Chains A and B, each alone.
Chain A
Amino acid sequence: MIFTVLIPLLLACFIPFISRFKQKIHTGVFVFFVPFAIFLYFIQFTGTGFESIQHTYNWIPSLGINLDFHLDGLSLLFALLISGIGALVVLYSIYYLDRSENLGHFYVYLLMFMSAMLGIVLSDNVFVLYTFWELTSISSFLLIGYWHFKEKSRYGALKSMMITIFGGLSMFGGFILLSVISGTTSIQVMIANADMILNHPYMPLALGFILLGAFTKSAQFPFHIWLPDAMEAPTPVSAYLHSATMVKAGLYLVARFSPVFADFEWFFIIVSLAGIITLCWASYMAVHQTDLKAILAFSTVSQLGMIMAMLGFGTKAAVFAAVFHILNHATFKGSLFMVAGTVDHETGTRDIRKLGGLFTFMPITATLALFGTFSMAGIPLPFLNGFYSKELFFDSTLDLREGMNATASFLAEAIPYLAVFGSIFTFVYSLYFLFGTFGGKTQVDKLAKKPHEAPFGMLISPAILVLGVILIGLFPNAFNGTFIAHAAEAVYGGDIVKDIHFWHGWDSTAFQMSLAVVGLGAILAVTRTKWNGVYQVLPGTWSVNKVYNSFMEKLDIYSRKMTTFYMTGSLRLYMALILSTILIVTAGFMLATNGFTIDFSNLAPVSIIEVAVVLVIIAAAIGTVFAKKNLAAILIVGVAGYGVALLFVIYRAPDLALTQLVVETVSVALFLLCFYHLPNLKKRNDPLRTKMTNAIISVGFGAMVTLIGISAHSSDWFGTISDYFLETSYKLGGGNNVVNVILVDMRGLDTLFEIAVLGIAALAIYTLIKFKTDKGGK
């Protein structure tokens, strides 16, 4: 099973070599056999007596992350969709994409995507699932931006990337929480331990994060905005990714985890509410689109919302209907995208206002579109699969679980009405799509090319999909028994044997709802142009896209503002920030831990000469700060330095005193040298406020350091090790000068690196001076 996931990736590695032959043979021909073979492989698992299969390949066993693959009914349904529609899309793309295009890139991305998608549906390990999930985001980003010279492609690719990666990361968080809660990374084990997870306090958080991932990927309201913009991709990509596979990854995720969460009442509320809102909003939005693919994009969003809502209901009937509709939607929506692509290819436009009356020019395409749209609209004809699942949908809305709280039961009351409302618009845009394109008057003069029937090869794939629509419509129970029921059982976690019948009788409420949809929808569809004004009013300026765009724009503006606010380039400001941060953190920590202790019991007596020297140093320090001239400041600093040397003498540190004297002299000399060479700088005249701030920071910092010093002295918890040095200096080091013995013998390593520092400094100065380039930057 792992090979089905890896083979597309492996082939993708060879595509660049194969695509060299593209002048003679279309690269897609080579690619076609891979999804086809995978489809054949998976078809062997269909049948009435199906048992789930589990395979494990070690990847990171120490973290419990292994390539665990699990094939059950749900995975099988998705795997068949991915490989089957994948094969058809590749076939379609052979005729759709010209050989002058950059085919190598296209098929590499497509195969990458196929692998990732198969990986998602087959993974049993949440982290492996997440890996493949992000791979779909990346490959979909590449595919949407395939015509990267178009600005809208780049915009759409970036948008979908931002939104799906946002969701993917939050899903990752949810997975981490889940694996922490359950102590396993295997989805099947989590399902087995659903009770434990449900009762855990972190469960709502994990659920929320995972649902966010599912909603962004499956384009649920308000994250649906990336999908219409992803229509800038080549049509085979739209047909594959944005109708049949990737957008269903979110549905797969919800379905996969619904055995874990379905008993949690907020799962019902959140998922079905999101689904039903998406259904209504997107079907309403689809009605006034003018681009064929935009209609289909919003239509996809609304259908996804419908499936999501059914998954949220979580009843036996709803789960079955959801799984059934996943299959149905993939068939008719795939064919409709291919039809839209064919129309675009043969007439040069996708603008529905320019199209019309194409039935006479493209009868086969129009027939295929007819079946697809009628199935999508749910028109009660016994050979269209869309009607069955829509009727099951209505049926399931009427029989919701008993509301556990007020919100849930109110929602349960409202859902049937919303479902009818959304379906009416579904009906309207389906007819609009069909008759706007193929019915009415021909406007040949507005078209870029003279329309004609598409080449035979381009019609094969949509024809096969439409054949699927009809076959499922004619023999729903044959498909039901072989794999749909298995898939539904995997989601619901119990036995589902449900016969699908066309006719439920006039008194069936679901049938009455269908009739209402058809009736009201037909009226609205006929009078569609009269309502144009109304359609423009509601979304008007109020759209999620605007929110997204202004959010991204504001993010840019405010982050730049924030950066320019503190990254002024002024070293003075950085210094103030660094010092005040140290001040606040250290002082805050000391205060919080009650660290300041002041204890004067252990002090040495103070002699008058020490006081005198310290007073001189203090005077020098103050003088340095208030000195008017730089020269004076330098010299006064020298006074402080010599004062310190004198302190060393007083405290009996002759080595330090000697060194301090010499070093102070050298540094004063160097200061003077710098001062001599400096250009005549103007004296800074800071405003009083800055001066006060600086004063507060420096005084505070000094006070803090002083306090810490006193506290450190007051709490002398450990004895000193200097006794050891004094004792052993002569015995072990052979010297009477303890300081020197410490420097060269006991702590010789420090000295070694200190002289290395000196050496580096000297070489740096030498390099700076001798090897400076001219102003031209030689």
Chain B
Amino acid sequence: MYKPNDLILRTTTSLIAFILLGFSIYLLFAGHNSPGGGFIGGLMTSAAIVLMYMAYGAAVLEKVLPINYRTMIPIGLLLAAGTGVGAFLFQQPFLSHTFDYFYFPILGELELATAMLFDLGVYLTVLGVTITIILSIAEDR
């Protein structure tokens, strides 16, 4: 069987994957105030994971990130729907969001919004969806 020597690919991947992951987390959290958000953040994270998959293969990927991506879809959906349902606790209509500014010991004053939780749900769903699609197609023989 053809066995490529992909040392360069693997080395760069282990570097770039972290940068990609970091960037995707940034996109997720920055989404409220600058371009980005759950959707693009999720896509970027999956790009990093796909890169790792291409460089190292399915076995290694499963060892490094032992995650069942399919379960992320319902988790994400539940989270997104849950933030909507949560509004009921405060006698508010479905999907009402609120935000406030809090003081954190190290980080200083920060804005925390419930919309962030919703975006996190979007993020998890998109991540689960893309990886599920790509991996199941890739593993199809």
Contacts and interface: CB of A to CB of B under 8 A. Distances in A.
B132 A744 contact: no
A769 to B, nearest CB: 5
B71 to A, nearest CB: 11
B48 interface: no
Contact of B129 (A740, A741, A743, A758): A758
Contacts of B132: 762-763, 765-766
Contacts of B126: 755, 758
Interface stretch (A236-244, A351-359, A654-662): A654-662
Contact of B38 (A744, A763, A766): A744
Count chain B CB atoms within 10 A of each CB in A659, A739, A762 and give the residue with the most.
A762
Interface string A721-745: 0000000000001111101110111
A765 B70 CA distance: 12
Contacts of A666: 43, 130
Contact of A744 (B40, B73, B118, B136): B118
B99 interface: yes
A658 to B, nearest CB: 5
Contacts of A763: 70, 73, 132
A762 B128 contact: yes
Given A737-B34, A741-B115, 19 more contacts: A658-B36, A659-B39, A662-B43, A666-B43, A670-B137, A733-B97, A734-B99, A734-B113, A735-B99, A736-B34, A737-B37, A740-B31, A745-B97, A745-B118, A748-B118, A751-B80, A752-B80, A758-B125, A761-B129
B115 A733 contact: yes
Given A758-B129, A759-B125, A740 B36 contact: yes
A752 B95 contact: yes
The B interface is mostly helix, strand or loop, or mixed, namely: helix
Nearest to B80: A752
Interface residues of B, number: 43
B51 interface: no
Interface in B51-99: 70, 73-74, 76-77, 80-81, 84, 94-95, 97, 99
A759 B74 contact: yes
Contact of B40 (A662, A673, A759, A765): A662
Given A659-B43, A662-B44, A743-B37, A737 B133 contact: no
Interface in A607-636: none
Contact of B136 (A737, A755, A769): A769
**Closest 5 A/B residue pairs (Cβ):** A734-B99, A654-B35, A735-B32, A762-B129, A736-B33
A752 B84 contact: yes
SS class, residues of chain A in contact with chain B: helix
A526 interface: no
Among A654, A749, A763, chain B packs the most CB atoms within 10 A around the CB of A763
B140 interface: yes
A759 B95 CA distance: 20
Nearest to A665: B47
Given A735-B113, A752-B80, A655 B36 contact: yes
A676 to B, nearest CB: 11
B6 interface: no
Nearest to B69: A762
A766 B70 contact: yes
Contact of B32 (A673, A734, A769, A770): A734
A270 interface: no
Given A744-B97, A752-B84, A734 B111 contact: yes
Contact of B33 (A655, A670, A737): A737
Contact of A759 (B73, B84, B99, B118): B73
A756 interface: yes
Contacts of A673: 137
Nearest to B116: A744
10 contacts: A659-B39, A743-B39, A752-B84, A755-B121, A759-B76, A762-B70, A763-B73, A766-B70, A766-B136, A769-B137
Nearest to A670: B137
Contacts of B25: none
A737 B35 contact: yes
B122 interface: yes
Interface of B: 27, 31-40, 43-44, 47, 70, 73-74, 76-77, 80-81, 84, 94-95, 97, 99, 111, 113, 115, 118-119, 121-122, 125-126, 128-130, 132-133, 136-137, 140
B38 A759 contact: no
Contacts of A736: 32-34
Contacts of B118: 744-745, 748, 751-752
Contacts of A769: 136-137, 140
Contacts of B74: 759
A663 B80 CA distance: 22
Contact of B122 (A734, A737, A744): A744
A744 B34 contact: no
Nearest to B123: A755
A655 B31 CA distance: 9
Contacts of B136: 765-766, 769-770
A756 B84 CA distance: 14
A456 to B, nearest CB: 82
B75 to A, nearest CB: 10
A601 B71 CA distance: 54
A755 B115 contact: no
Most buried by A among B27, B84, B111, B140: B140
A508 to B, nearest CB: 91
A663 B84 CA distance: 27
B127 to A, nearest CB: 10
A341 to B, nearest CB: 73
A162 B81 CA distance: 56
Contacts of B121: 755
Contacts of B95: 748-749, 752
Contact of B125 (A734, A743, A744, A755): A755
A655 B40 contact: yes
Contacts of B140: 769
Contacts of A762: 70, 73, 128-130, 132-133
Contacts of B33: 735-737
Nearest to B47: A662
A256 to B, nearest CB: 60
A741 B32 contact: yes
A350 to B, nearest CB: 72
A755 B94 contact: no
A587 B111 CA distance: 52
Interface string A554-567: 00000000000000
A749 B97 CA distance: 12
A755 B32 contact: no
A734 B137 CA distance: 40
Contacts of B119: 740, 744
Contacts of A756: 77
Nearest to A761: B129
Contacts of A770: 136
Contacts of B32: 734-737, 740-741
Nearest to B83: A748
Contacts of B70: 762-763, 766
Contacts of A765: 132-133, 136-137
Interface in A623-681: 654-655, 658-659, 662-663, 666, 670, 673
